[in-house]
Structure 1
Amino acid sequence: MAITHFEQFNALHQGDRPLILPNIWDAASAQLAQAAGAPAIATSSAAVAWSLGYADGGNLPILEHLRAIERILRVSHVPVSIDIEDGYSTDPARVAELVETLCDLGVVGINIEDGSGSPQLLEEKILAIRSTLTARKTRPLFINARTDVYLNDADNSKEALKEVIQRLARYQNAGASGGFIPGLISPIDTQQLAKEISMPLNLMLLPGMEKPAQLWKAGIRRLSWGPALFQSSYAFFSNRVTNLLSDQNPTDIFDHKLTYHYLNNLAINPE
């Protein structure tokens, strides 16, 4: 029997190295990530919103988001996880309905965050998602519960780690499959967190962090970039347009291997 995308995705969190998860935002970035060898891909909510002309933070209309997800799934042959911010509602039942729709489309994982809200609310959303998926016998789902404690605590106080441990324990008990802690950089805190929480942990790669191999030894099983790949790609675009408009001729704009024929063939025959 062929292994399912969910089984593939779940197994990638159990290997002898961390899952390196490129954050994509549209069909083209999804195709390029897969062609580069990514075993799975995940969206960045910020990157998806920006690519469609909306600000991050719940401003992207759900129907537009769903259409973007459908375009990504159309060209994807690896597991796909979707960032849904806080679920776009304070009503756990509505969040569960959205997640069920994503599962029906073929999504195998989600990121859902507590943001500036209470841990109890995210706990209730996770419980509602699990209850709905179980009752309707929907396909399995990897729920990556994100806590923004370190992002909201600019000083990374000693209380931050304690709060993160408490929140992730609640989310795991509610049915989360993994925990995502953007903003956590400290190797000491990382090791302590991995000792306290048994589900796979995900960090956002940031400047100054240890290499993936060291992070795996510390207990981290998944690494992602957030919107960094989008920002890097569009920074190149912005800089070259600025140079062109100032009557410069940046010849390095042609210094790449993404030829017309390569990209067109990739669109016709996704790798």
Structure 2
Amino acid sequence: MKRVLITAGASGIGRAMGAAFEAAGMEVWVTDLDEDALAALPTTWSSRKANAVDENAMAQVVAEMGSIDVLCANAGIAGPTALVEDIALEDWRACVSVNLEGAFLAAKHAAPRMKAAGQGAIILTSSTAGLYGYPNRAPYAAAKWAIIGLMKTLAMELGPFGIRANAICPGAVEGDRMEGVLAREAAAKGMTRDQVYDGYASGTSMRRFVEAEDIANMAVFLGSDAARLVSGQVIAVDGHTENPDPKV
């Protein structure tokens, strides 16, 4: 049975990915820092408490797996919502570290296992913030742009070994994490939560947020043999973002 490793897989997009990969017949391994969320995962999954930016922890998880067919480097945080001049360096570093270094470390330790097997798929979670500039979200946007550069480099380095790399760019995803973003943006812009929500939704041609399951379905496709020649691609699952600066 093929194995998938999902970082930050105990809730939100990561958990939806796990459910979708299990439904596709794969053995699911998950890392996360939220002990309560880990305890609530299906008993059929293998789960470990591990910080995505702790290299020793990630190396141990990959070693314990033994083989890894699909990696979903999904760990990320929203970071501060503020103008550039109001962002503390420590908050910038924390955001960039989790979003970028977490993906780097997961790929670094998964790649040798995939090379040995002569196949594999690496899926990095970027964002539509990796496609456009986003006011008040400088560290997050910078990290998500960098994710795409990392992915394209991985695709070039690992392609000769039968390993594919792609990035998914979610748009605004329904859930607790986006609710936090909406609240912070509303406070920063002097707007209501609903006004900010409507601004995001109206900035897409489909006029709606996406669901975590939409991202998970794309991940399963990219990890499958049906996508055997899909590599180095940036795929937005966002209902077609027209306006990256939400307005009412």
| TM-score category (smaller protein) | 0.3 to 0.5
TM-score by length of 1: 0.37
TM-score by length of 2: 0.39
